[in-house]
Amino acid sequence: MSTTEFTHLTVLLNEAVEALNIQANGIYVDGTFGRGGHSRKILSQLGDQGRLVVFDKDPQAIAVATALAAQDARVSVVHQGFSNLDSALDELGIEKVDGLLLDLGISSPQIDDGSRGFSFRFDAPLDMRMDTSRGLTAAQWLAQAEEQDIAEVIKTYGEERFNRQIARAIVARRDEDPITTTGQLAALTAQVVRTRERGQDPATRTFQAIRIFINRELEEVKQILPQAIARLNPRGRLAVIAFHSLEDRIVKQYFKSLVEKPKLPRWVMVKDEDLPQPPIELMGKAIKPSEQEVKANPRSRSAIMRVAQRTETV
């Protein structure tokens, strides 16, 4: 499969790179390389002594990143999820960075390549792994998971109110015939989910939930945030683009926990300036795509970016 066969429109391209406040000789991390839209923009603003470390799980994305690195010595490629930030930077001999960008969720090439098994629009093997070189496929997990666990995943990660009915149908079906394709799962879900939001396929929430679970997407977000903040130089920035409420809630709550000052008893006589300085400060309000971007790329509609800057407290 060609790595350039499917197009990917980079969401919040200019806004995200601008948020990083690129320093010519700084060190930056693109935690989700994808097809390199953000990375190339960052590189265009880096000087000869600048450095960019790119992460991705997807072998196809890594192939594109490796080709870029072959042409640009400033690029280092890590074929791992971004939750491995600490170990990867240690291996590269990097202690601190000046900025880190995370563009969460699934990329357009992954959705549009039917063979990857992410979309109910194509009948293909039920894979759903971002990294096809390791881990259980969605089909393998559905073949062995307990009914209660399937229901919990669909409820937690898909916020699907018919989660128990779907799980029951999956278990009943697999006893007769294994569920191995996206078409089988989509058809089964459609039989169970009788009502759905206008314009939304009955399988949308179930596919989202299983994909998030298989790739440990929310767990990785929780793991990367403290690593990223700890690795930032003073005035270094972390920009995170989320595409659904579960991801954004994690980012929003974590940032909030770091900027809140400690609550002391009323009788403690301490001036605000004498309190410990928060490790980060928020850089303005959350940023969403413009109307023009949404019109050009409807998939950007749900994107929201939050930016934090490391304070002098290290």
CB atoms under 10 Å from CB of 57, counted, come to 23
Q: Classify 164 as helix, strand or coil.
A: helix
Q: Classify 40 as helix, strand or coil.
A: helix
Strand partners, 125: 181
Q: Binding site for S-adenosyl-L-methionine: which residues? A: 36-38, 56, 82, 103, 110
Q: Binding site: which residues? A: 36-38, 56, 82, 103, 110
Label residue 187 exposed, middle or buried (CB < 10 Å: 0-12, 13-18, 19+).
Answer: middle
- Phi then psi for 3, rounded to 5 degrees? -80, -10
Quote the tokens at residue 21: 């406040």
Q: Following DSSP, what letter does each residue of 211-261 receive, concatenated?
A: HHHHTTHHHHHHHHHHHHHHHEEEEEEEEEEESSHHHHHHHHHHHHHHHSP
Spatial distance between the Cα atoms of 37 and 274, rounded to a whole number of angstroms: 43
Amino acid found at 122: F
> Exposure pattern of 162-179 as b/e (b: 16+ CB <10 Å)?
bbbbbbebbbebbeeeeb
Spatial distance between the Cα atoms of 79 and 53, rounded to a whole number of angstroms: 11
Strand partners, 240: 102, 306
User: What is residue 83's DSSP assignment?
Assistant: G
CB atoms under 10 Å from CB of 110, counted, come to 22
